[in-house]
Homo-oligomer: A and B are copies of this chain.
Amino acid sequence: MDVKDLKYFVAVYEARGFSRACLQLGTVQSNVSTRIRALESSLGVILFERRYRDVIPTESGAKLYARAKQLIAELDEARKTLQLVHG
């Protein structure tokens, strides 16, 4: 589970679709699909239920979302803190 994986996941979650997520991520659908599938595989958990014109988070997906948002925010905050110090 990588930070980039979390960002991909959050984008799909918020966009409720792979095609809309990829615009925000600056990549193509196929990569989003592949990476989400790899993430699901590595966790042993399905994160989204794929339906036509709707990508619905599973229970696991919903649980991951809150944590993922927090983790990404904390990482950004850490980066900002460091770049003020310049040590």
Q: Quick one: given A70-B74, A71-B71, A78-B71, are A44 and B1 in contact (CB under 8 Å)?
A: no
1/0 per residue, CB under 8 A from B, across A32-76: the answer is 000000000001111000000000001111011001101100110
Cβ proximity bits A71-87 to B, threshold 8 Å, 1 near / 0 not: 10011011101110111
Q: Is the CB of B70 within 8 A of A82?
A: no
Select A86's contact among B4, B45, B79, beta carbons within 8 Å. B45
Main secondary structure of the interface of A (DSSP, over half): helix
Name A residues whose Cβ lies closer than 8 Å to a Cβ of B. 1-4, 43-46, 58-61, 63-64, 67-68, 70-71, 74-75, 77-79, 81-83, 85-87
Q: List 23 A-B contacts (CB under 8 A).
A: A1-B75, A1-B78, A2-B4, A3-B3, A43-B79, A43-B82, A43-B83, A44-B83, A44-B86, A45-B86, A45-B87, A59-B85, A59-B87, A60-B82, A60-B85, A60-B86, A60-B87, A63-B82, A64-B78, A64-B82, A67-B74, A67-B81, A68-B78
